[in-house]
Amino acid sequence: MNYLRYTGVFLAVAIGAGILVSVLNATMDSVLGSSAQLMVPAMIAALVEGQHHAKRCKVRPGVGEAWNFTWIATAIAIGLNVALAYLAAPLLPVFGRLAIAPFPSQQFIVLLGLYGAGYLICNRLFLGIGAGNQLSLMRSRGEVE
């Protein structure tokens, strides 16, 4: 698995969604915001990794390999989420809404745990979906049996 690609896709989707929400808020005179900004980047990044694994190896990731990816990708996603929420907020205020709890507080730790559980589920589920979809496509093209 390529964690640099996962990070790049995660950041591209997160920043793209943040810019889109900011533009919509400015043009529609509204205050949009969504928890999708938290989970969708991880979903898409894991989906892309599953597709790339299937293209390269022509099989779904093994259980151990999938869980190794899931744990590492979850740690990356949590780190990126915290960095975007607390460091990128001055550049794109929409990320400031993700930082709803003061950094060292108990509320912060609880929310971090909830986000971590969500990222864990998303990464594991969408890795398999990406690989399965890519393998189905490859079978329909006759590239694998």
Q: What is the DSSP string of 19-54?
A: HHHHHHHHHHT-----THHHHHHHHHHHHHHHHHHH
* pLDDT on residue 36: 65
In 3D, which of 98, 88, 83 has the Cα closest to residue 36?
98
Q: Tell me the two tokens of residue 137.
A: 């496509």
* pLDDT on residue 59: 93
Whole-prediction pTM value? 0.87
Residue 62: what residue type?
G
For the chain, percent of residues with pLDDT exceeding 70: 90
What are the residue ranges spanned by the domains of the chain?
3-140
* pLDDT on residue 71: 97
Segment 2-30, tens digit of pLDDT: 999 999 999 999 888 888 877 887 788 77
Enclosing H/E stretch for 117: helix 106-140
Place of tokens 């990320």: 95
